Amino acid sequence: MPTMFFLNLPVKDLGKATAFYEGLGYAKNPQFSDDNASSIVISDEIVVMLLAEPFFKTFTSKEIADTSTSTEALLGLSAETREAVDTIVDKALATGGSAGNATQDHGFMYSRSFQDPDGHIWEIIWMDQSQVQG
């Protein structure tokens, strides 16, 4: 079994957050979704768990970050092409997301970002693998 990554995000409005991620083209897995959570499948190895804030609070004793005034993390996701970066970010902006950080274009690497409706910042990144030295 490959290593999987589960990203748990607190959301204020589960329905709105779920619709946003489905609008990006990702599927909700109903087997792991209910009134408290939506399981959003990004890939076979990456799942975003959208958790209603009261439910999220049952997993931590810390305060939930106020994403309107602070950054909790920068979430990076790769794309296969520069055009795919633009497609994903443009969908995010058209589906209720907002602008994130400034576009970065270094020739061999290109990234744009957006904020989801709850202020979580996603960086979508393409890199020319022929330029990456191992």
94-107 pLDDT, tens digit per residue, is: 999 999 999 999 99
Q: Per the domain annotation, does 48 fall within a domain?
A: yes
The structure's pTM equals 0.92
One domain, residues 54 and 75? no
CATH number of the CATH domain containing 86: 3.10.180.10
Contact of 106 with 91, CB cutoff 8 Å: no
State the residue range of the domain holding 37.
1-60
121-127 and 74-78 as β-strands: parallel, antiparallel, unpaired?
parallel
Q: Per the domain annotation, does 66 fall within a domain?
A: no
Contact of 64 with 53, CB cutoff 8 Å: yes
Q: pLDDT tens digits, residue range 33-92?
A: 999 999 999 999 999 999 999 999 999 999 999 999 999 999 999 999 999 999 999 999
**Half-sphere CA count of 127, side-chain side, radius 13 A:** 9
